[in-house]
Amino acid sequence: MTAHFYFKIFNTIKSEHEAKDFAKLELLRLFGEVSLIHNFFDKLLEEPLKSFIYEPIRVQDIITNELPYGKIQGYYGNKRDLTDVTQLVKRLSYIREIFLIIESKDKPEKILKKIFPDGVVGKNVQFFEKDGKILFRFVTNQYFLEKSEYISKLSRNEEEINRNVEILFSHLIKNNYRIPASSTMAIGKRLEDYFAIREEPSLYLNHYMHPYKGKFHPKMVKALLNYVYPKSKGIVLDNFAGSGTLLVEAASLGLDGLGVEINPLSVLMSNVKCHSITIPLDKLKKAIEEYVKMVENEINYFVSSNNGQKLLIKNSLDHAKIKEEARRALKEIERMNGFK
């Protein structure tokens, strides 16, 4: 039995070097030998992919949706036996979708439990059957990480976050024919319209927490980690930790990280970013509620003299008058804020 793999790269990639070098390097380490796909239309004319271009499947509508620019659209590889795709789905940084075609008499659900136990049909997995062949479509974790940046920007509360997460999960599965609104439209856009924007997000997870000049693009860091250390467990040492980009990406891959850094601000940034992704959700919610409560109890009003500012000269300061004015202002603030 031969398993055919088609890897579709992100349509947001801006550099040919990313598609040609970094994407291929991580595939070589996590999967094995692959060959370039310059145009998916050529592959659609070849078996076994050709079997799925007819009604009602029309896999061409899925594969050609939001293809990347440039000379490289993806990669092809094959295996003699079925392989666990869990690490591919979870770790690949430049691959947006994986298409796997096999011949099997087993039910797709049974095969899926064997090769990708974490897969949820209708969310990050689809499958189609045709003449004894099965086509699986896997959406990588990196896609959901990058698009979650828009959820963090557009959601106002927990209820909206949950609803928008469901929209994100269903977008690639159900919206192949949707025409997005213009990226320049100021109002009236839906969440799905933002998913179609051809930008390469770098602010997913917590990489946005503080500006830092000269930091690695997290996607590039992840690809290098996949190439240098493709194992699922281990320790990564970054002797110039900076803002902690590598340490955060290592943690997202399940690796332990150690960082060395001389800049106190960088140390603080790295510690906050690394610890924040390990905080239990219930503990985080409680901390947010306590912070909101504290802010609501803060002073809401502040008063100043109606006479405007006066020139202060050290020798002419009337300390008794200053104390009297300060007491009066304090009483007024307490009255306006309901303090006793």
Using one digit for the tens of pLDDT, what is the confidence trace for 165-184? 888 888 888 777 777 777 66
Average pLDDT of 296-307? 60
pLDDT (average), residues 256-263: 91
Question: Which pLDDT belongs to residue 126?
Answer: 94
What mean pLDDT is predicted for residues 312-333? Answer: 72
Percent of the chain with pLDDT over 70: 90
Q: Which of 87, 89, 111, 114 is nearest to 99 (CA)?
A: 89
Confidence of residue 249 (pLDDT cuts 50, 70, 90): very high
- Token pair in block for residue 78: 């094959």
Instruction: With a cut of 90, say whether residue 332 has pLDDT above it.
Output: no
Task: Look at residue 324 and tell me whether its pLDDT is greater than 70.
Answer: yes
- 141-154 helix and 158-174 helix, angle to the nearest 10 degrees: 140
C-alpha–C-alpha distance, residues 76 and 4, integer Å: 8
Distance set, CA 157 to CA 124, 154, 193, 287 (Å): 25, 9, 20, 15
Question: What would the pLDDT profile of 20-70 be if each residue is shown by its tens digit?
Answer: 899 999 999 999 999 999 999 999 999 999 999 999 999 999 999 989 988
Residue with more model confidence, 139 or 191: 139
Query: 70 burial class (0-12, 13-18, 19+ CB within 10 angstroms)?
Result: middle
CA distance 302 to 71: 61
Distance CA(68)–CA(12), nearest Å, equals: 7
The DSSP 8-state label assigned to residue 208 in this structure reads T
DSSP-derived letter for residue 126 is E
Least confident of 4-8, 87-91, 108-112, 253-257: 253-257
> β-pairing, 125-130 with 95-103?
unpaired
Give residue 22's pLDDT. Answer: 93
> Which band of pLDDT confidence, cut at 50, 70 and 90, is reported for residue 8?
very high
Radius of gyration of the CA atoms of the chain, in A:
27
Query: What mean pLDDT value characterizes the chain?
Result: 86
Q: What is the mean pLDDT of residues 64-85?
A: 92
pTM: 0.81
Residue 298 pLDDT exceeds 70: no
User: What pLDDT sits at residue 311?
Assistant: 55
Note the pLDDT of residue 148: 84
pLDDT surpasses 70 at 204: yes
Instruction: Work out whether strand 235-238 and strand 256-259 pair parallel, antiparallel, or are unpaired.
Output: parallel
Residue 304 has pLDDT above 80, yes or no: no
Spatial separation of the C-alpha atoms in residues 44 and 330, rounded to whole Å: 76
Query: Would the pLDDT of 19 be above 80?
Result: yes
